[in-house]
Amino acid sequence: MSRLDENLGGVGFDNLIADSYPPADVFSVQLAAGQGILERGTLLALKDDGTMETIGTETTGKANAVLTDPVDTGDAAEGEAVPGIAYRTGHFNTNRLIVAEGYTITAADREALRVAGILTSEAVEI
């Protein structure tokens, strides 16, 4: 039996979600193998083969999902897709979204996200 004055755990605040509207809805995704560890907040785009990868890499599709939890996709490009969970809708802080190194979220990316049901806002760092 635990004590009432004992801290059993906590939830960290990462400032990824900006607002409760539209509600954050999740769905199952297949992540392309060989991307290494993808962190929570990674902006994903659909590839031609039906898997998703970090926007700004070899992606040919438009950004349309945000990863909910870290996933290790492995280091080798060969292999089967790795399952993950992503937000299909929600309102997110742009400066907390993770993209490929050297890539910047464009106006076209923001529009594609908006059409998919994902809103983005700039958050003030405190």
Cα(42)–Cα(87) distance, rounded to whole angstroms? 10
Q: Please indicate, yes or no, if residue 1 is contained in any of the structural domains.
A: no
The CATH number assigned to the domain holding 92 equals: 2.40.300.10
pTM: 0.85
Place of tokens 């997110």: 92
Q: Please indicate, yes or no, if residue 11 is contained in any of the structural domains.
A: no
Residue 98 carries which DSSP code? B
pLDDT band of 103, cuts 50, 70, 90:
very high
Encoded tokens for 5: 């004055």
The pairing of strands 25-31 and 37-38 is unpaired
Q: Please indicate, yes or no, if residue 2 is contained in any of the structural domains.
A: no
Q: What is the pLDDT of residues 58-75, one digit of tens each?
A: 766 788 999 999 999 998
Q: Please indicate, yes or no, if residue 106 is contained in any of the structural domains.
A: yes
The mean per-residue pLDDT over the stretch 52-60 comes to 84
Range of the domain at 109: 17-121
Q: Please indicate, yes or no, if residue 6 is contained in any of the structural domains.
A: no
Domain count across the chain = 1
Q: Please indicate, yes or no, if residue 5 is contained in any of the structural domains.
A: no
Q: Please indicate, yes or no, if residue 7 is contained in any of the structural domains.
A: no
Q: Please indicate, yes or no, if residue 3 is contained in any of the structural domains.
A: no
